[in-house]
């Protein structure tokens, strides 16, 4: 029987303790060629404001697709900017298994991938985290990154200072000006809706690690050229980054490796180098997370 799984059910069973290692396994398999996944198709409903993404994939553990609505125009309203539905099939037989609400899955798998990459690339004795942005992904990354690093200090900056102050009070961290938040940080997360660079490479501490989450279209950027060129650039998918990421395309930065190659040990970043992970999000991540949820819900 086709199962319908709500966001509340996802929240009940999906944990970062299980999701982070699942993302490592999934991306290692993806980079090893063990999945079929085209670059997502993006339908522009309204330029700059409303987009529909279609994200299919086939893996040994699951087959299906995510339909994701990316609506920047929803920012500041009660409706999230990202909404999604995931359809999960049995790979061997094609049997439909479940339709899952994909909003929380998307939120958590994005942060879980960053946490997995950070576990491999963050400098030794990491102590300071800087979050640029105060929305859903800032919340998710703070939670997920605390699974893999112990931070003595967490800083937050947002273009909306009121939001930054509220986030800081909620989590017991410090709201700071942009440059001050970045300077000296061991790990930096850019999770903004910016279409122009907000992070300058000359602010970065030597050996720092950056998780760049926003700017998911080929003309949008969060990072300037200095943050990308000359540093070690990791992506989730080379093909996707060269078609979708304005940060990568416009800077003409050289891609060192995919995250899955880092996880598998086929590529190793030079110790002490400044590293940047450009995250776009892949269908294989959604399906792996959806399978975790489906197995947990149906086993209960």
Number of domains in the chain: 2
Same-domain pairing of 128 and 206: yes
Where does residue 147 rank: exposed (0-12), middle (13-18), buried (19+ CB within 10 A)?
middle
The whole domain housing 20 covers 3-106+283-299
Distance CA 258, CA 77 (A): 35
Same-domain pairing of 295 and 186: no
For residue 214, name the pLDDT band (cuts at 50, 70, 90).
very high
Q: What are the φ/ψ torsions at residue 222 (nearest 5 degrees)?
A: -120, -25
CB-hemisphere CA count at 13 Å for 67? 6
Domain with residue 149: its CATH number is 3.40.50.720
Nearest CA to 133 out of 203, 206, 49, 189 is that of 189
* Residues 241, 244, 246, 249, Cα dihedral to 10°: 50
Reported pTM: 0.94
Same-domain pairing of 46 and 65: yes
Same-domain pairing of 39 and 118: no
Distance CA 146, CA 148 (A): 5
Same-domain pairing of 220 and 154: yes
Q: What are the φ/ψ torsions at residue 226 (nearest 5 degrees)?
A: -65, -25
Tell me 135's DSSP state: S
Domain with residue 21: its CATH number is 3.30.1780.10
Tens-digit pLDDT profile for residues 31-69:
999 999 999 999 999 998 999 999 999 998 889 999 999
Bridge partner residues of 86 (DSSP): 66, 100
Tens-digit pLDDT profile for residues 66-119:
999 999 899 888 898 889 999 999 998 999 999 999 999 999 999 999 999 999
Same-domain pairing of 137 and 250: yes
């Amino acid at each position: 029987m086709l199962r319908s799984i709500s966001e509340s059910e996802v929240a009940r069973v999906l944990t970062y303790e299980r999701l982070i290692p699942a993302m490592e396994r999934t991306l290692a398999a993806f980079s090893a060629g063990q999945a079929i996944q085209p670059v997502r198709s993006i339908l522009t409903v309204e330029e700059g404001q409303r987009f529909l993404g279609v994200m299919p994939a086939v893996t040994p553990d699951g087959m299906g697709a995510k339909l994701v609505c990316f609506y920047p125009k929803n920012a500041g309203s009660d409706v999230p900017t990202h909404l999604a539905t995931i359809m999960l099939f049995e790979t061997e037989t094609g049997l439909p298994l479940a339709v899952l609400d994909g909003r929380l899955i998307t939120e958590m798998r994005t942060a879980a991938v960053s946490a997995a990459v950070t576990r491999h690339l963050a400098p030794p004795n990491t102590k300071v985290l800087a979050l640029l942005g105060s929305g859903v992904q800032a919340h998710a990354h703070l939670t997920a990154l605390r699974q893999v690093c112990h931070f003595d200090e967490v800083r937050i900056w947002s273009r909306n200072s009121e939001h930054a102050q509220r986030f800081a009070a909620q989590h017991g961290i410090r709201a700071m000006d942009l440059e001050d938040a970045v300077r000296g940080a061991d790990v930096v997360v850019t999770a903004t809706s910016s279409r122009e660079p907000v992070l300058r490479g000359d602010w970065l501490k030597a050996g720092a690690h950056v998780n760049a989450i926003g700017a998911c279209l080929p003309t949008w950027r969060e990072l300037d050229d200095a943050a990308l060129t000359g540093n070690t650039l990791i992506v989730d998918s080379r093909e996707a980054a060269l078609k979708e990421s304005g940060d990568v395309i416009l800077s003409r930065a050289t891609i060192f490796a995919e995250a899955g190659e880092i996880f598998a040990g086929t590529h190793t970043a030079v110790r002490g180098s400044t590293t940047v992970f450009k995250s776009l999000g892949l269908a294989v991540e959604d399906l792996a997370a959806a399978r975790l949820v489906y197995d947990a819900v149906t086993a209960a």
